[in-house]
Amino acid sequence: MNTDSVPAELLLVREQIDRIDHGLVLLLANRFALTRRVGVLKAEHGLEALDPERESRKLAEIRRLCEVNGVASDLMVEILARVMAEVVKNHKAIREGGAPAP
């Protein structure tokens, strides 16, 4: 699609979406930086990489938040469950003396 034929309002909305997408990446980067620290603390204290009770509570909280805000809760839970699985993988790598994934 040639941008000359795209309505100006559509281009503006797409720019806003792009900014949000960039913000999501930055938020995830910050989240992973914090969870790396959690992984180090867990390793130092001999704690397990996975805390199933916390994960379950967190996903239930996210589901409720989505329902209140009209967001597809199944989608968000799926996304965050994937993020949490990556965190657990990173925590295991930290515990085993390796570096977590970037």
pLDDT in tens, 14-58: 999 999 999 999 999 999 999 999 999 999 999 999 999 999 999
For the chain, which domains are there?
3-95 (1.20.59.10)
Confidence label for 97 from pLDDT (cuts 50, 70 and 90): confident
Instruction: Assess contact for 73 and 66: CB atoms under 8 A.
Output: yes
pLDDT in tens, 66-77: 999 999 999 999
Alpha-carbon distance of 39 to 22, in angstroms, equals 26
Instruction: Assess contact for 90 and 39: CB atoms under 8 A.
Output: yes
